[in-house]
Amino acid sequence: MDANTRGESIHIPVILTDSGIQDMVYNDFYIGEGADVEIVAGCGIHNDGCDTSQHDGIHTFHIGKNASITYTEKHYGEGTGSGGRILNPTTIIHMEDGAFAKMDMSQIKGVDSTFRKTEANLNAGAKLVINEKLMTHGTQTAHSDVTVNLNGEDSVVQIVSRSVGKDSSVQVFHPIAVGNNRSRAHIQCDSIIMGQAKISSIPEIAANHVDAEIVHEAAIGKINSDQLIKLQTFGLSSEDAEKVIVDGFLK
């Protein structure tokens, strides 16, 4: 995509409908200097069989000087079979001077296991925004590793993670921000825990420059009982009230 590419969008969906598929896809995106584009990706797995279906997507972004990109990625799983539904996305981001990227990545239902890896390298004046939304239920597991290297002067990253863990599911969020120059990073992790779920937020922040400013905030807690009671006074059942709160939290 060259500098004349502005306001364009690309859609790259993946759908697995057979049991036992092992799928791996590599996508390399080159966004030229000054370009402004949107890329929408996602994978849905429908597994009615007894064998595991798995999709691993490796996406690499080369974002040119002063270029801008909005990337949306959604994952979903369903099916009546006993076979697993596994999604393991890898996202690698290289940002030149003044580049901007917004990454919205969500996984809301039906994925039994996921291991997400995100790595970004920012040059001078580059800004990266990552919004991650996740819901797990049953015995599902989800692990997300995010590493951002702020290499250039005045580079900025903002990472916001919102998740809901239900039943006996397990979540681990491991963000790493490394300030190698005058830079700013803000990481915010908020989670709602329900049932017998387990949620861990394991931040690493490192400053290798005197003018690097890096902040991490994390909160894990159950649904506020006052919110549930208030919604139930409007005629909602306990289950419906929980759904309203969870949907609003992940919106």
* Distance (Å, whole) CA 251 – CA 249: 6
pLDDT of 231 reads: 85
Residues 6 or more apart in contact with residue 130 via CB below 8 angstroms = 103, 105, 118, 146, 157, 158, 159, 160
Alpha helices by DSSP H, listed for 25-110, are none
Structure tokens at 7: 């306001």
Beta strands in 151-249 (DSSP E): 155-165, 170-179, 183-193, 198-201, 204-207, 212-221
Is 130 within 8 Å of 162 (Cβ atoms)? no
Q: What is the DSSP letter of 147?
A: E
Q: pTM of the prediction?
A: 0.93
Strand pairing class (127-136; 155-165): parallel
> What Å distances lie between residue 164 and 74, 121, 152, 220, 230, CA to CA?
16, 29, 34, 10, 21
pLDDT of 1 reads: 60
pLDDT of 50 reads: 95
pLDDT of 8 reads: 86
pLDDT of 230 reads: 84
Structure tokens at 97: 């001077």
pLDDT of 4 reads: 65
> What Å distances lie between residue 249 and 190, 191, 192, 196, 197, CA to CA?
9, 9, 9, 20, 17
Give residue for tokens 């861990």.
Answer: 200
pLDDT in tens, 8-33: 899 999 999 999 999 999 999 999 99
Report helix, strand or coil for 56.
strand
Residues 6 or more apart in contact with residue 104 via CB below 8 angstroms = 70, 71, 72, 73, 131, 133
Is 137 within 8 Å of 171 (Cβ atoms)? no
Q: What is the pLDDT along the chain (251 residues), one digit of tens a residue?
A: 656 678 789 999 999 999 999 999 999 999 999 999 999 998 999 999 999 999 999 999 999 999 999 999 999 999 999 999 999 999 999 999 999 999 999 998 899 999 999 999 999 999 999 999 999 999 999 999 999 999 999 999 999 999 999 999 999 999 999 999 999 999 999 999 999 999 999 989 999 999 999 999 999 999 888 888 888 888 888 889 888 988 888 88
First to last CA, the chain: 31
Chain centroid offset of residue 12 CA: 17
Alpha helices by DSSP H, listed for the chain, are 225-232, 238-250
Instruction: Report CA torsion sign: 42, 140, 191, 173.
Output: negative
Is 86 within 8 Å of 74 (Cβ atoms)? no
